[in-house]
Amino acid sequence: MKPRFNDNYKGIRCRVYLVRENTNIETVIIRNSTDIYELVKDELVNSDRERMLSIMLTCGNHLIGVETVCIGSIDKVTLSIREIFKSAILGNACSIIICHNHPSGELTPSTEDIHITKNLFDAGELMGIKVLDHIIVSDRGYKSLKDDGLFPE
């Protein structure tokens, strides 16, 4: 008799399940950077530290969910590309939009903001998950790297 996988494996078995909650909530469609800003502004504008959010979307730009992927200090956030894409993979997202805040109020993207956007874009291309935009939010409004021509093509 051929041994079964479970009989020979001595490690801990893990299962990952995607559970959809709040199924009776109206579908949110993201059409532009203003829609994203309206979605996240309350959380990001009122934060005293930098927060990075991942907005996960279906292929039709329906909102799957928003996840806080990291929280930093008043002027920087250290992030992992792996952590940003983890929820997108588990959520079966077709694309993501990255958002973070600048508690200082400054909307100009830093060199690091532009650099991480390029790295995320490239990683997304490899995984088949498009990075559609990177939005910076402050109490002065928002800046879309895509709208301002600072996004990788």
Burial class (CB within 10 angstroms; exposed 0-12, middle 13-18, buried 19+) of 150: middle
Q: Are 54 and 100 in contact (CB under 8 A)?
A: no
pLDDT tens for the chain, 153 residues: list them.
554 555 565 666 667 666 667 667 788 999 999 999 999 999 999 999 999 999 999 999 999 999 999 998 887 788 889 989 999 999 899 999 999 999 999 999 999 999 999 999 999 999 999 999 999 999 999 999 999 998 887
Tokens of 70: 């990291």
Residue 54 belongs to some domain of the structure: yes
Find all residues with CB under 8 Å of 104, minimum gap 6, and list them: 74, 75, 138
Query: Which residues constitute the domain of residue 130?
Result: 21-144
Total domains present in the chain: 1
CATH number of the structural domain spanning residue 83: 3.40.140.10
Residue 7 belongs to some domain of the structure: no
